Structure 1
Amino acid sequence: MDSIENKVIWITGASSGIGEELAYQLNELGAKIILSARRETVLLKVKNKCKYQDHVTILPLDLTDFNSLGIVTQKALKINGHIDILINNGGLSQRSLIVDTKFEVYQQMIDVNYLGTIKLTKHLLDHFIAQKSGHFVTVTSLMGKFSSPYRSGYCGAKHALHGFFDALRMEHEKDNINVSIICPGFIQTNVAKNALTGDGSALQKEDNATENGMPVNECAQKIISAIKKKRFETYIGGKEKFGIYLKRFFPRLLHKVVMNSKVR
């Protein structure tokens, strides 16, 4: 099991939720962390709550500003001279029926959840190859393994991440590059409140499943354990995790279970 101490870890989506909690826990374990998200003021608040603030650097980025991601990556590399781990955590959810969802919302889902992550990953890949080590940790979702109503665009983008990062792992195992895919279920964050509705506006309300989900600090602990163990794929949550196995062996039963649940 690898140690986190003194590792240089870059976290996207670090201004709230899972990314924010990972920042606190990884900082306390002695990692040198780079925090990225769109809002610099919120990142500064996260930094100020970290135990060892001298080991924290904030680096604003917008995953949909593809042309800027190469420049941001070079800035990240200059901070400590190298990067050991990239945690691809930035993302956006959705709550709307397909028939009610504008095509532009699907474009945004792909840009934020998939293409921005891929672009950033590719910019850092050459560095990992050159130093003959590196670890991509990509936070997808259980919705990257099976689907549910109201989340069509989100599910599609998260499924795509699995296809890409499984291939990256195979192609660059020879370069000592590790890939861990993290699949959370219902976690107590603001993911539902910030989710896009069919017209592109934010939902601005919580759902019961998220409110009653796993505490975010427990989720972060499990992610850090998976990082240390360099696990290929990790499922985190409550009973919703069993959807993985129903999808694989009993897909029609999973369909019935999801349709009978309060999935919105």
Structure 2
Amino acid sequence: MSNVSGKTIWITGASSGIGKGLALALAAKGGRLVISGRNRAALDEVAAECPGSIVEAFETTDLDALPAIVARVEAATGGIDWLINNAGISQRSLALDTDFAVYRTLMEVDFFAPLRLTQLVLPAMVKRGSGRIINNASVAGKVGSPLRTGYCAAKHAMVGWSDAMRAEIAQHGVQVHVLTPGFVATGIGRNALRGDGSQKGDGADPVDAGISIHEAAEQIIAGITGNVPEIPVGRDGAAEMQLLDLKRQDPEACFKLMAGMAPAAGR
């Protein structure tokens, strides 16, 4: 029996991208899934490929609704073994061109929403003495990248929160994993926010050249079942994955490299 089989696993942002890849892979390995997102129709399509899964469609930033949703999920499943906080949104805009409201949206979606859901799920895990919290950050949660000031801020916050929480709850038998994906071929670039809050839309984006969602899912699951606290996800040797080491080994070189990547903007 695998480390996944029979586990009740709740995945947010499961209707597409990495979340969908994880849902399909974990279902194939015997996981009992709760899949969440905003798009009920897309979730139903994923659920059709994940027999026995429960669909909970909701807006992750509707914080007032979360207690009732968590109570309903826990009653239906008997308890969550893994919570995968995967839902998120990215950004493609210069700091000088980004409305304050966009920063608020990025922090609400990418940080406060997963934090609140975790607050509600964690006590039952602690009481049982087992469980896993898996937070999908990004290489952008470790390195400051141009056009992503708000996204990087939210993902750095997620990494810091996760690291501190890990230190506190290890004594209760609950593990915390942080995912740091580089380029994965998903719609995250297309759905990213511009400075005025509109979506970037179609057009070239570096993530499009990344690994598939299925490759990403296998790397993530291997890291989780291998008890790896921080799990890099991406193509071996890819430039963005090398940034994880460069930031530790030579921060100044990393800062200069990022500055060189910033688009020219006349003012």
Alignment of 1:42-191 (within 5 A): 42-50=42-50, 53=51, 55-191=52-188
Which residue does the alignment assign to 2:256? Answer: 256
1:1-52 superposed Cα distances (whole Å, 9 cap, x missing partner) = 96100100000000100000100010000100000011211110111133xx
Structure 1 residue runs of 5 or longer lacking an equivalent are: none
Which residue does the alignment assign to 1:4? Answer: 4
Q: Is the 8 A contact 1:9 1:85 kept in 2?
A: yes
Q: TM-score, normalised by structure 1?
A: 0.95
**1-structure distance, mates of 2:214, 2:41:** 23
Q: Is the 8 A contact 1:11 1:34 kept in 2?
A: yes
Q: Which moved more, 1:241-250 or 1:19-28?
A: 241-250
**1-structure distance, mates of 2:3, 2:38:** 29
Secondary structure in 2 aligned to 1:10? Answer: strand
Aligned CA RMSD, in angstroms, stands at: 1.6
Are residues 1:219 and 2:216 paired?
yes
- The one-letter code of the counterpart of 1:92 is I
1:190-246 superposed Cα distances (whole Å, 9 cap, x missing partner) = 000000000000000243421211111111100010111121101122231111121
**Equivalent pairs, count:** 261
Secondary structure in 1 aligned to 2:57? Answer: coil
Structure 2 residue runs of 5 or longer lacking an equivalent are: none
**1-structure distance, mates of 2:20, 2:7:** 17
**2-structure distance, mates of 1:37, 1:206:** 24
- The one-letter code of the counterpart of 2:102 is V
1:237-263 superposed Cα distances (whole Å, 9 cap, x missing partner) = 223111112111212211233344488
Q: Quick one: structure 1 residues 262 and 120, their matched pair in 2 at CA, closer, same or farther if it must change by over 3 Å?
A: same
Secondary structure in 2 aligned to 1:79? Answer: helix
**1-structure distance, mates of 2:204, 2:146:** 14
Q: Percent identity?
A: 36
Are residues 1:41 and 2:41 paired?
yes
Q: TM-score, normalised by structure 2?
A: 0.94
